[in-house]
Amino acid sequence: MAREVKFSLVYRDMWQSSGKYQPRVDQLVRIAPVIVQMGCFDRIETNGGAFEQVNLMYGENPNKAVRAWTKEFNKAGIQTHMLERALNGLRMYGVPKDVRQLMCKVKKAQGVDIMRSFCGLNDYRNLELSVKYAKEAGMISQAALSITHSPVHTVEYYMGIVDKVVEYGADEIALKDMAGVGRPATLGRLVSEIKKKYPHIVVQYHGHTGPGLSMASTLEVAKAGADVIDCAMEPLSWGMVHPDVISVQAMLKDAGFLVKDINMEAYMEARKLTQEFVDDFLGLYINPGNRISTSLLVGCGLPGGMMGSMMSDLKGVHGAINMALKKSGKPEVSFEELTVQLFQEVERIWPMLGYPPLVTPFSQYTKNIAVMNLLALAQGKPRFSQIDKDSWSMILGRAGKLPGQLAPEIIELAKQSGQEFYTGNPQDFYPDALPEYIKEMEENGWERGEDDEELFELAMHDRQYRDYKSGIAKDRFNKEVEKLRAAKNAPVMLAPTQASERAFNYIDINKPNAIPIVATATGRLLWEMDFKDTSVPPTPGTKYNEGAVICFIEASYGIMTVAATKAGSIVGTCVKQGQMVKKGDILGWIE
């Protein structure tokens, strides 16, 4: 009898890999019954990394969204699963143990069946509590392997992680091929080894289509014994996203597997609704380039889920790089040339950084270092002239053990800057925090919510939750959408002037020796930490020593500093307090 292979619709990740936002709860509850009617899915990825956060960012309550969104699938007997980042929970930096434990309790109560947990470094120490807390809450624990391709990421390497998470009690294993660079034959051997050693373990494959390998990988893992395949659907399939369920179903059916039929009438309705959500407001945040696959990703291994943010970062720093090249008499580069240079730079420095799997947040850290390297090289400085604190945290072992060895020059750079390497458990950096958040809720008169879900949301995303409660988030989002719609519908379709371009035009004429003050992250600019819109930037002539903090950026993963890269005086600024900036944007100038 033919072996059955089941399908999971990764509806959350479809949006995550395409743009910035997820559909609103009113949109999700409209499409949920249509997805059920499609009849081909045994599982749906409903929430997880970014889903909760972006709900807060546009003023929605993520807890209400999760409960309403999972309800239809629970009723239909379709399993729901979510994605969490082990030590980092649902955010970009570490989470206290008591908050991680509460997350599992809350999500189970909200209707989520399966907790897919991954550590971006594949450090099984970070996964131990994820497995434990998921099981305690009555969830299915699915431990994910962050798949990449390097000399150290062998089948034997991954099996060492599998052995540990199975020992912890994991029920399932996911192959999280976030960049789609896993080689099909190797992935097939890995699944075969898992099934041979642990035949009771369910294996689920998740592969992005960016470099074009994932369909071959899907067939190989299915032949090797994989039980569930993650799929997408139009209009958000292929490109940097995932294979479309129609193609996957046809391929596996032809290969002799038992797969469910697709109700095409329901598929087309779900396709229409998804396009309607894109046309509503979500399309304002979708980069058209994410619809395109590129074999260049085979070398650099960058994941589909961050391509949109990477392109934004690169656009922000493009002007500064060309200005530096122009000053030194070198030819300027086009955006396309710069994109290829970034891919090559990531490929160059990745082994030097110990081969961290390029998945959130370590893909961002590696990409950030690469972007700043390109800027430094254009300015005539050496590589690694500027490394942000989060990237240092990865390098020094505070987020977990790197899979490979650091290059000697990175180790020497750490010593020269007085950094200390850490070999202990990363969780020890994050003491329990719920009592403080409970106190804050009591002082504000805020309800802790059903099953303590509001307490959890504050503890996991405190800054965004406060903005949500105050109404600032919804107001900010509505203004942003209004501005983007106006730009899109303008009679003359000119690209909006970037902060970097404004500054370049000004400085090129008046202060040719000044250097830019560059945003170190994407987020809200704070010249002063009092968060008041009346705060003003430093006046021209204000002096700073090298390394002194000039301003701050409220990013989604924390407050980032922007320091003076040389001693000097402020020449001018071009961004107001509270304005949203992108990593690489020029904020002002120092001479």
Section 149-163 average pLDDT: 97
Residues whose CB falls within 8 Å of the CB of residue 90, separated by 6 or more in sequence, listed in order? 48, 49, 50, 52, 53, 84, 103, 460, 461
More confident residue, 8 or 530: 8
Share of the chain above pLDDT 70, in %: 93
Residue of 511, 512, 533 lying closest to 524 (CA atoms): 533
Q: Is the pLDDT of residue 509 over 50?
A: no
For 585, list phi and psi in degrees, rounded to 5. Answer: -60, 145
Q: How confident is the model at residue 298 (pLDDT cuts 50, 70, 90)?
A: confident
pLDDT at 308 (0 to 100): 57
For 445, list phi and psi in degrees, rounded to 5. Answer: 70, 25
Q: What is the CA radius of gyration of the chain?
A: 24
By the 8 A CB rule, do 470 and 457 touch?
no
Q: Is the pLDDT of residue 157 over 60?
A: yes
Q: Domain 499-590 belongs to what architecture?
A: Beta Barrel (2.40)
Lowest mean pLDDT among 39-43, 193-197, 383-387: 383-387
The pTM score is 0.81
Residues whose CB falls within 8 Å of the CB of residue 191, separated by 6 or more in sequence, listed in order? 175, 203, 205, 220, 221, 224, 225, 226
State both tokens at 344: 């090559």
Section 493-514 average pLDDT: 40
Q: Is the pLDDT of residue 404 over 90?
A: yes
Residues whose CB falls within 8 Å of the CB of residue 366, separated by 6 or more in sequence, listed in order? 346, 349, 350, 353, 356, 358, 391
Which tens digits make up the pLDDT trace of 112-133? 999 999 999 999 999 999 999 9
More confident residue, 434 or 306: 434
Sign of the Cα torsion 381, 386, 391, 397 reads positive
d(CA 160, CA 148): 15
Q: How confident is the model at residue 500 (pLDDT cuts 50, 70, 90)?
A: very low
* Single-letter code of the amino acid located at 321: I
CA 390 to chain centroid? 14
State both tokens at 450: 């059903």
pLDDT at 306 (0 to 100): 64
By the 8 A CB rule, do 193 and 155 touch?
yes
Q: Is the pLDDT of residue 269 over 80?
A: yes
Which residue is associated with the tokens 């800027």? 375
Section 476-502 average pLDDT: 62
Q: How confident is the model at residue 252 (pLDDT cuts 50, 70, 90)?
A: very high
pLDDT at 312 (0 to 100): 66
Q: Is the pLDDT of residue 512 over 50?
A: yes
H or E element, residue 470: helix 462-470
Q: What is the mean pLDDT of the chain?
A: 90
Q: How confident is the model at residue 530 (pLDDT cuts 50, 70, 90)?
A: low
Q: Is the pLDDT of residue 519 over 80?
A: yes
pLDDT at 490 (0 to 100): 55
Q: What is the residue-wise DSSP string for 208-258?
A: --TTS-HHHHHHHHHHHT--EEEEB-TTS-STTS--BHHHHHHHHHHTT-B
Using CB atoms within 10 A of its CB, is residue 200 exposed (0-12), middle (13-18) or buried (19+)?
A: exposed
More confident residue, 143 or 509: 143
For 468, list phi and psi in degrees, rounded to 5. Answer: -65, -45
Task: Centre a 10 Å sphere on the Cβ of residue 538 and count the other Cβ atoms it contains.
Answer: 19
Q: Is the pLDDT of residue 162 over 70?
A: yes
Q: Where are the domains of the chain?
A: 6-284, 307-428, 499-590
pLDDT at 390 (0 to 100): 86
Q: How confident is the model at residue 580 (pLDDT cuts 50, 70, 90)?
A: confident
pLDDT at 50 (0 to 100): 85
Which tens digits make up the pLDDT trace of 551-575? 888 776 556 778 888 889 998 888 8
Cis check: omega of the bond before 62, within 30 degrees of 0? no
pLDDT at 188 (0 to 100): 98
Q: Is the pLDDT of residue 389 over 90?
A: no
- For the chain, the first-to-last Cα distance in angstroms comes to 75
pLDDT at 503 (0 to 100): 34
By the 8 A CB rule, do 109 and 146 touch?
no
State both tokens at 67: 């409960």
Q: How confident is the model at residue 410 (pLDDT cuts 50, 70, 90)?
A: very high
More confident residue, 379 or 70: 70
6-284 to CATH, choices 3.20.20.70, 3.30.200.20, 1.20.120.140, 3.20.20.140: 3.20.20.70
